[in-house]
Each structure stands twice: as C-alpha cells, then as structure tokens.
C-alpha cells in the first residue's frame, strides 16, 4: 500500500515542484545517512508526504542546499534543509512500514516474490531495529496496526469500516502525536484517520480484480451493488472530502500549495486512474 | 490579539476589495455548513469567529482613518446546532456534542430493541460518523430517513453525506477526460452556491 500520495505535477507552480523535489531528495539522503545506501530504495511518495507534513507542522525547513544525486552523479539536485528530526522520523517510518509489509508479503505471495522477499528481509529487519530504538512509538503503532489488520482479515468481518480501521487509526495516532495543542491534535487525528482510510481503501480497490480471482481478502468483495465503480468512488470521495475539511483548519504555512495540490488534484487523479483506469496526468516516474 | 491582516492572509496595504474577497473566501471555507456533523465543527466555528473579528477590526480601523465609508456588515456565524431538546435521547445528544462517543454509544446500545426509533438510528449514524466510519454512518442515516422520511434533521444528514460522496474537489470530474483540465473555478462556485441554497431550504428554519 505505497505510493498513492502523489502530487499532480501539471498543477504545481515550478517553485513548489522544486521544493517538493528537494524534500524528496532530502529524505532520500537522510535514509542513506541513518540506515544505508540500499535503504534509499525503499523511499516512497507516502513517506515524502509524511516528512513534508512533519516539516511544515514544526516549521523546520530552513532553506535549500545544492548537491548531487547519489544514484546519478550527473544530476544536480537541491535538498531541503531541516533543523529538527522530521526527516529521521519519516525515514524510520519508511523502513519500519516496509519491513512489516515484507512480513505480510511473505505470507501471501507467489514463489519468486517470496524468494526475493526472503533475500531482502534481513536488511530491513536490521534497519527496523535501529529505527525502533530511536522511535519506539512509531514502531509500536505500526506493529499494532499490522496485528489488528490480521485480526480483522481472519475474523471474517464484513464491514468495510472495520477493515479500514487499523490503517486509519495508525495514521491518526502517528499524526496526532505532532499536535502542539488540543485543537491541532484533534484536527490531525481526523485528518490522519481519513487519509489512512483512503490509502487502505484505494489499495483495496487497486487489488480488487486480483483478489476476486484469487479469493484473497478484500473489503469490497462483501459489498453487493450494481455499480461497483461508483460505490468505490463515492466511498473514497468521502474520505478525501473529510480529510480536506480537516486540513483546512490546520495552520499550515510551509508547503501549503503542495498539500493543496495533493489533496485537490494528486489524490483524486490517482483515485481516478485506479478506479476508472483513466490516464493519470503524467508525472515523471522518478524525480 | 493577532494581527487581523494575518488572519485574513492579506498584506496591510491591500485594497478594500482585496480584503473583502479574502474575507469572503475564508468565510466560505469555514462556513458551518461545510462542517455540519463533523467532529471538528467547533474548531471551524472558532476559525469563523476569528475571521469575522479580524474583518470587523480592519473595517473599523479603516473607517477611522477615512472618516467616511460604508460599514461592511459582516455575517456573524449564525446560531446553528440547537436541535430538539425534547428528545428521549437527550443525553446521547449532549455526549455527541461533547465528543464523548463511547458514552453516547453505550447509552444507545443499552436501548431495548423496541425503543430503537428513527432517532436512535440517526444517533448511531452520528456516532459512527464521528469515529470516521463513513459507510456504517451512511447506512444508519438511510435507515433513519426511511423510518421517518419527513424529518428535516435526518434528511439534512444524508444530503450532507451525499454531497461529500459526490464532491469533486478541485474540479476533478470522473466522467470526463482530464485532458481538458476538468471544470473551471466557476463551476465549483456555482456548485457551491447551489449546494448552499439547497442546504438552507432543507433546513427550513
């Protein structure tokens, strides 16, 4: 369930796009520093979103540095400079969640993929330990989420809400931690809950056809409707609508345009392409 | 108090029209209708209040400076909420209003089958909605509406949900091709205006 939290490049200002890239590269660099060169490969858009939100909430971004990309020495890039541990936190979240995702894959994927997962798992296992030492709360929240998710999937619950709850709750808890006062905590909780719910449900919608064939758990399989696509679309719309309502109450200054772009164009466009197979407005694959 | 210009997000040198526009945009953004039933309704109301105060303050300051000029009347955040107090689930409503969802649900779950009226379903939906369980909430609201089709409150809740479910933020439209850039700002505005009209009528109070 990675990579859904995207921007829509065509609607961004150039300077906003540059800033987004700089956060992406900054996070990549931090992952190399905190873990290893290889850990950088697990970088996702979702974690970039998380890092950017952390930086924005803490007002930690203090400018941009120039540098070169480690993967492509010919490419010059800029890095968003951050005063606090936003990057480290996001990097920890990234390796921890990838580790648990691997565990999950080990249970229900095909032979070759399993082989591959076995191969890379020890690395992530090591990094996860390192991350958990520094951010024990993050690790316990993700672990809790995986446990609850397994219980829901094996418990035979037919409720869509119950299935989406663990992921939503996890993100709600993770973001609520950043609230500086009671009101902000509440807003972040609601925002996190609805975004988490959206991520879980869009991932489920993405896997719908495959799960239908293979008989794997999918919350949408329990729903009886004549027009599946519209139902899924409405359900997802509502998550985004509530997330956006909550977001508007936050006092966001840094990266505001980028967040608006994501909530208003990036996520919906992703949603369209998943549900209706519509051509996404092209983003460059790699930044 | 914070700088009123900062609250409206405009520079102190901005013209009257610009300030008015900024005020209108914010007032639309935080309008209570957007947050009806939301767990964050009180925070939105707070924001609305700040915006109103800032706008009043700027107007007052500018009027003093000029000596003349028409007073920009501000729409104060009207008295929303205020639902029926003569309800058998009065305590539940109070709990929900205070965001004490566990307590509310406890009372509801202890209600014997025979007493589960349309209002019971509506309040169950309310609890689910506050928790973020949108689908369950939707089903409860629908049941409440079916049991008591004439109730304005239940109808408003379901209308609100339907608006959200078909809401196309940022002019993104699922039916048409994105290539053309979707629909314009105007479309959103008109849609908002329509929505607002409908909501007002629907409330009928």
Residues of chain B with pLDDT under 50: 67-85, 170-186, 201-205
Nearest to B164 among A162, A190, A241 (CB): A241
- DSSP codes of every residue in B51-97: HHHHHHHHHHHHHHHHS-----------------SS-TTHHHHHHHH
Lookup: tokens for A175: 């973001």
What is the rounded distance in angstroms from the CA atom of residue B16 to the CA atom of residue A245? Answer: 28
| Cβ pair B172:A187 closer than 8 A | no
Which band of pLDDT confidence, cut at 50, 70 and 90, is reported for residue A166?
very high
What local confidence, expressed as pLDDT, does residue B69 receive?
40
pTM beyond 0.80: the answer is no
Which band of pLDDT confidence, cut at 50, 70 and 90, is reported for residue A279?
low
Q: How far is CA B105 from CA A4, B96, B111, B122, B158, in A?
A: 34, 9, 10, 12, 20
Nearest to A273 by CA among A207, A206, A208: A206
CA distance to partner chain B, nearest, from residue A182 (Å) = 11
**Helix axes A86-107 and A14-34, enclosed angle (nearest 10):** 70
Question: Three-state DSSP class for A201?
Answer: helix
What local confidence, expressed as pLDDT, does residue B70 receive?
40
| Cβ pair B40:A264 closer than 8 A | no
- In this predicted structure, which of A10-19, A192-201, A248-257, B78-87 has the lowest mean pLDDT? B78-87
Region class of B81: left (phi > 0), else alpha (psi between -120 and 50), else beta:
left
What local confidence, expressed as pLDDT, does residue A38 receive?
81
Q: How far is CA A61 from CA A18, A143, A165, A255, B37, in A?
A: 14, 30, 32, 10, 36
B-chain residues near A193 (CB < 8 A): 132
* Residue A184 · residue A215 · CB < 8 Å: no
B-chain residues near A237 (CB < 8 A): 164-168
Lookup: tokens for B29: 């953004």
Which band of pLDDT confidence, cut at 50, 70 and 90, is reported for residue A191?
very high
- In this predicted structure, which of A77-86, A145-154, A157-166, B189-198 has the lowest mean pLDDT? B189-198
Between B7 and A112, whose confidence is greater? B7
- In this predicted structure, which of A122-126, A196-200, B68-72, B151-155 has the lowest mean pLDDT? B68-72
CA distance to partner chain A, nearest, from residue B86 (Å) = 30
| Cβ pair A265:B170 closer than 8 A | yes
Nearest to B36 by CA among B109, B141, B110: B141
| Cβ pair A263:B40 closer than 8 A | no
Read off the pLDDT of each residue in A157-181 and give the average, rounded to a whole number: 90
The residue of A159, A161, A182, A191 whose CB has the most chain B CBs within 10 angstroms, and thus the best one to mutate to test that interface, is A161
A-chain residues near B160 (CB < 8 A): none
Residue A108 has pLDDT above 60, yes or no: yes
* Residue A243 · residue A187 · CB < 8 Å: no
Residue A99 has pLDDT above 70, yes or no: yes
Q: How far is CA B138 from CA A4, B62, B149, in A?
A: 25, 48, 15
What local confidence, expressed as pLDDT, does residue A35 receive?
87
Which domains, and CATH codes, for chain A?
9-276 (1.10.600.10)
> What does pLDDT average to over chain A?
86
What local confidence, expressed as pLDDT, does residue B176 receive?
38
A208-267 residue pLDDT tens: 888 888 888 888 888 888 888 888 998 999 999 999 989 989 988 889 899 999 999 899
- DSSP codes of every residue in A216-245: ---GGGG---S-HHHHHHHHHHHHHHHHHH
Read off the pLDDT of each residue in A93-116 and give the average, rounded to a whole number: 82
Residue A201 has pLDDT above 90, yes or no: yes
Helix (H) or strand (E) holding A94: helix A86-107
ipTM: 0.72
| Cβ pair A245:B40 closer than 8 A | yes
- Return the residue of B nearest to A182 by Cα: B43
What is the rounded distance in angstroms from the CA atom of residue A202 to the CA atom of residue A235? Answer: 10
| Cβ pair A245:B34 closer than 8 A | yes
Question: Three-state DSSP class for A137?
Answer: helix
In chain A, % of residues over pLDDT 70: 96
């Amino acid at each position: 369930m990675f990579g859904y939290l995207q921007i829509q490049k065509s609607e961004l200002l150039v300077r906003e796009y540059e800033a987004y890239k700089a956060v992406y590269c900054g996070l990549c660099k931090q992952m190399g520093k905190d873990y290893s060169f290889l850990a950088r490969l697990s970088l996702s858009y979702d974690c970039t979103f998380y890092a950017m939100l952390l930086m924005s909430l803490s007002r930690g971004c203090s400018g941009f540095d120039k540098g070169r990309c480690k993967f492509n020495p010919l490419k010059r890039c800029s890095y968003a400079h951050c005063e606090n541990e936003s990057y480290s936190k996001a990097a920890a979240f990234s390796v921890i969640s990838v580790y648990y995702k691997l565990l999950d894959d080990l249970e229900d994927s095909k032979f070759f993929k399993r082989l591959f997962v076995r191969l890379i798992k020890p690395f992530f296992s090591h990094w996860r330990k390192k991350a958990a030492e520094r951010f024990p709360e993050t690790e316990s929240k993700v672990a809790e989420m995986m446990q609850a998710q397994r219980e829901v999937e094996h418990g035979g619950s037919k409720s869509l809400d119950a299935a989406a709850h663990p992921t939503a709750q996890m993100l709600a808890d993770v973001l609520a931690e950043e609230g500086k006062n009671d009101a902000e905590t509440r807003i972040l909780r609601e925002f996190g809950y609805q975004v988490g719910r959206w991520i879980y449900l869009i991932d489920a919608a993405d896997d719908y056809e495959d799960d239908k064939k293979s008989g794997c758990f999918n919350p949408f399989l329990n729903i009886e409707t004549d027009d599946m696509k519209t139902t899924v679309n409405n359900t997802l719309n509502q998550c985004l609508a509530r997330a956006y309502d909550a977001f508007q109450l936050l006092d966001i200054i840094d990266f505001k345009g980028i967040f608006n772009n994501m909530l208003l164009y990036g996520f919906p466009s992703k949603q369209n392409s998943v549900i209706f197979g519509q051509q996404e407005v092209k983003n460059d694959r790699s930044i | 108090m914070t700088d009123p210009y900062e609250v409206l997000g405009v520079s102190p040198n901005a013209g009257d029209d610009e300030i008015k526009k900024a005020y209108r945009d914010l007032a639309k953004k935080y309008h209570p209708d957007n947050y009806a039933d939301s767990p964050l309704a009180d925070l939105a109301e707070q924001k609305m209040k700040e915006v109103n105060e800032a706008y009043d303050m700027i107007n007052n300051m500018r009027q003093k400076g000029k000596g003349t000029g028409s007073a920009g009347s501000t729409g104060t955040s009207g008295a929303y909420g205020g639902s029926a107090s003569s309800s058998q689930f009065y305590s539940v409503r109070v709990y929900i209003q205070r965001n004490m969802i566990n307590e509310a649900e406890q009372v509801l779950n202890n209600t014997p089958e025979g007493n589960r009226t349309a209002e019971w379903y509506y309040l169950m939906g309310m609890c689910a909605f506050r928790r973020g369980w949108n689908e369950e909430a939707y089903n409860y609201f629908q049941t409440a509406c079916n049991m008591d089709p004439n109730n304005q409150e239940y109808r408003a809740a379901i209308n609100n949900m339907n608006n959200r479910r078909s809401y196309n933020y940022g002019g993104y439209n699922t039916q048409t091709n994105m290539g053309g850039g979707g629909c314009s700002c105007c479309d959103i505005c008109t849609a908002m205006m329509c929505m607002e009209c409908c909501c007002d009528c629907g409330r009928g109070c």
